[in-house]
Amino acid sequence: MDALQIDQENLEGLSEEYRQAVMAYHRNLDQRAAARSDDPQMPRLAMPKEGMGAASALTQYQTLIEPNLAATLGPRYWGFITGGSTPAAMLADGIVGSIDQNPSTPADSITSSVEQQVIEWLREFFNLPAAFEGVLTTGATASNLLGLICGRQFAGEQQGLDIAKAGMQGANIEVFSATAHASSVKCLGMAGLGQEYTKIATLPDREAIDLLALEQALANSQAKGKIVIANCGTVTTNDFDDLSAVADLCERHHAWLHVDAAFGLFARCLPDKAHLAKDIERADSITSDGHKWLNVPYDCGLFFSRHIDKLETSLSVAAPYLAVESSSPTFMNRGIENSRRFRALPIWFTLTAYGTEGHKNIVANNCLRAQQLANWIEQSSTYELLSPCQLNTVLFRRQSSTRHTALDLQNIDNKKHLKAINETGEVFLTPGVWQGKYGFRAAISNWKTTKDDVLRVIALLEKLSND
Ligand SMILES: *Cc1c(COP(=O)(O)O)cnc(C)c1O
């Protein structure tokens, strides 16, 4: 018998061994460095000719790979905006790999119907009207691409073009945004709209859009089709465009309004933060993320639109062998991929296990922990906030020891300081540059982060403050 047959016969025993390996990772998460700072690499082993079987492969994983992982699931990985994973979501994701379903077309199993239910639940969680239909994606980047593809189709129709069919030739479309996320810029390129969009000024000392500047740009534009990318939660300072006013302008100037709310959409589930994302339901399309603040495993993004027909017109797959009759959507007609992961299942599990209350608590607690850190920094004589803490991200830096240090020297000092902080393995922070000042971002998005974790990081910052 070959290794494949033997493994299949021993599937139960193997799954126990694999489960133990996963549990060991979890048990030792607290001893693991939040992130590695030494850029670990695989040894250049020859590709196996004769396979070694799943048990030996696991041993190799445990020696070569597992020790060199980051503690992204741990409570002090505060880099980027990294969600944790709830127990139910994490275990469900293991089921997804093990049952290997493909919700591309419905009818031959219940998976597309589960995805539809999850989209309806999330719509309710975010307080969006039923006019919004949606699809699960690989992340906010993919969702931003879908939003731009919809906007492109809409803008084409305004000038008598069916861009999905005829392409961009002759199309005249202008895109406006103040602080478009880097992923949106990438998507503008992918969508054929060009990365060089019309950059609108921001309000003074803010990342939010200057409405007068937007109004002028829209009024002066000669373009026959217009798309506005509004921001609901910017990564550097967590700022929010005034969505009501932006929606008014888009209506008046017949522009498609896409809102990037990768994590900002979650503000809508907290009474004291909901105003930040007020009127997002006036958007034509909305991006959000599951693998960030919903705390489901990678990869999982969310996309909603009031005009899902624009998406289906652009992305429908026409082939007789793919035609089905079902009361569930054909999700491959709403996304980039034909074959798709059953990423609805971890969301279904986590919402079923912890409910909307449990998930609101995650968001609320993360905001409190960010505020706790920000309060300490505000009182510190060594560190300073670079912008006020609005949500779950704290942007700060070390103050310079002498008052007249040039900005570039301050920045070099802070770059070194960030490296020193991360090298302790106690916490992982990523950089953020605001108004020319190099700082550190602590983005708290994991359900596990407690008051004590923040105190531990404060103690570390205190200890390193004069190094
Ligand atoms: C994280 C983020 C993205 C990109 O999301 P991915 O899930 O990494 O693709 C886009 N926009 C904003 C505002 C984000 O925070």
**Distance linking the first and last C-alpha atoms of the chain:** 61
Q: Which atom of ligand 1 lies closest to the CA of 181?
A: 11
Q: Are 436 and 361 in contact (CB under 8 A)?
A: no
Q: What is the pLDDT of residues 372-422, one digit of tens each?
A: 999 999 999 999 999 999 999 999 999 987 767 899 999 999 999 999 999
**pTM given for the model:** 0.97
Structure tokens of 327? Answer: 């009361």
Q: Look-up: residue for tokens 């084409």?
A: 156
Q: What is the pLDDT of residues 18-70, one digit of tens each?
A: 999 999 999 999 999 999 999 999 999 999 999 999 999 999 999 999 999 99
Q: pLDDT at position 246, please?
A: 98
Q: Are 155 and 226 in contact (CB under 8 A)?
A: yes
Distance, in Å, from the CA atom of 281 to the CA atom of 20, rounded to the nearest integer, reads 45
Distance, in Å, from the CA atom of 367 to the CA atom of 364, rounded to the nearest integer, reads 5
Question: What is the torsional sign of CA 282, 314, 263, 364?
Answer: positive
Ligand 1: distance of its center to the CA of 264 in Å?
Answer: 10
Q: Are 347 and 106 in contact (CB under 8 A)?
A: no
Q: How confident is the model at residue 220 (pLDDT cuts 50, 70, 90)?
A: very high
Among 186, 234, 235, 303, the mutation site with the greatest number of ligand 1 atoms within 8 A of its Cβ is 235
> Nearest to residue 151, comparing CAs of 244, 257, 304, 70?
257
The answer, yes or no, to whether the previous bond of 413 is cis (omega within 30 of 0) is: no
Q: pLDDT at position 239, please?
A: 97
Pocket of ligand 1 (CB under 6 A): 81, 139-141, 181, 183, 233, 235, 260, 262-263, 289, 301
Residue 209 in this model has a pLDDT that exceeds 80: yes
Ligand 1: distance of its center to the CA of 24 in Å?
Answer: 31
Identify the residue whose C-alpha is closest to ligand 1 atom 2. Answer: 262
Q: Are 34 and 423 in contact (CB under 8 A)?
A: no
Mean of pLDDT over the chain: 96
